[in-house]
Amino acid sequence: MENKVYINDIILNSANAVLQIQKENGSFPPGHNGPWNNEDTPVRVTSHWAILLLKAYDLTNDNKFLQSSKKAYSYLTSKKARPYKNSFYCIESENKVIQSNGLIGQAWVLESLIEGYNHFNDSNILNLAEDLIIKHSFDEELCLWHGLGLKGETLKIHRTFNQQLWFSVMAFIVANICNNNEILINTKKFFEQLPSFINFKNFIRMHIKEDVFKKKASKIDHYSTRVKGLAAKSYFTKISRGYLSFSLLGLSILYNIDRTMDLWKDVKLREMISQSTSYLDKKVFQDDGNKFGFQYNPIGFEVACLKEKFSDYFGDYKGKTIENWIIKQLNNHYDFNKMMLVKNTNDQNTLSSRIYELTKLENRLLKI
């Protein structure tokens, strides 16, 4: 039986459902970082849910969503979430590199802080976001970011493309709000070099090209030591396939922030993005068995969003529709009784919170 539902209805249903599991301190039950199997703190899921709750309030003007979002931001701005006023504590680990979840853990918090500031106009939230970015060191020669430890340690450069990209995009947004010229200069340097970072083999791969780091191999973080070993295994391609839509989503968000960048005039970059999107339609759409795919990264929402945001960048692009991708994600993983994205996943708490990505989309009518 076919049901008709609007995206905003799904957002509101999940917002109502998650109200029931919010803790007194404003946080939500944490998951783990999917197939990587590191136990998360509540920081990541709370960052995601806070965005969804703000959207629910905007749609309904219902005070229960407003109060819940305020509690969530109370947790995110607390000592519990950022114990030493440096990086946010994202993963339960004794390893100082893993604790902050690289750059992406911090980027997800920044994304939420930006939404919180835009809604509440709270300078404390904005100052926190700016301070977090300032404390991340930027390598002037490589034009890449170092990680930041909980106690302020400058960690090695992270070589995962999507992490560098998402952190730079969030930093760029904050820099423009704060008129912070130093951050703005660093992010623009990153964007200028971005095409040269991309490791492209049929589609944009997860890690930055190896030759970028030849001059400073000792400065790259521990993840890079695993790359050659991973590359020799068949699942390395699966990892890149699982994260492809997330990288492209970051690029599409940047495109909608500033379409005047010289970056978008790069013909080679345009072709890499176009071919990667085509690869998603032809190969990844059927990738149900990939543990780095739909069951952890909500690829269906991400591809829908990047196609929507890149609609005039590609021109007349042919392929799976935006609705095809959203429905694929919902049919496989959304429980219409629990009103949560919890089916067919070994990390229900994390996947369910990532339904916030629907807030980036127009309110389309779906036939499910």
**342-357 residue pLDDT tens:** 999 999 999 999 999 9
**118-162 residue pLDDT tens:** 999 999 999 999 999 999 999 999 999 999 999 999 999 999 999
**309-336 residue pLDDT tens:** 999 997 766 789 999 999 999 999 999 9
Q: What is the model's pLDDT at position 314?
A: 78
Q: How confident is the model at residue 220 (pLDDT cuts 50, 70, 90)?
A: low
**231-272 residue pLDDT tens:** 545 678 889 999 999 999 999 999 999 999 999 999 999 999
The residue-averaged pLDDT of 17-35 equals 96
Q: What is the model's pLDDT at position 3?
A: 81
How many whole angstroms from its chain centre is CA 137? Answer: 21
CB atoms within 10 A of CB 96: 15
Q: Which residues contact 281 (CB under 8 A, 6 or more apart)?
A: 319, 320
Closest CA to 362 of 6, 4, 111: 6
Q: How confident is the model at residue 221 (pLDDT cuts 50, 70, 90)?
A: low
Q: What is the model's pLDDT at position 215?
A: 66
Q: Which residues contact 260 (CB under 8 A, 6 or more apart)?
A: none
Per the prediction, the chain carries an average pLDDT of 94
Q: What is the model's pLDDT at position 224?
A: 44
- Is the pLDDT score of 7 beyond 80? yes
Q: How confident is the model at residue 229 (pLDDT cuts 50, 70, 90)?
A: low
Give CA–CA dist 69/74, Å, rounded.
9
Give this prediction's pTM. 0.95
Which domains does the chain carry?
4-367 (1.50.10.10)
Q: What is the model's pLDDT at position 232?
A: 46
**92-117 residue pLDDT tens:** 999 988 999 999 999 999 999 999 99
**61-75 residue pLDDT tens:** 999 999 999 999 999
How many whole angstroms from its chain centre is CA 365? Answer: 25
- Is the pLDDT score of 1 beyond 70? no
- Is the pLDDT score of 214 beyond 90? no
Closest CA to 183 of 194, 167, 196, 198: 167
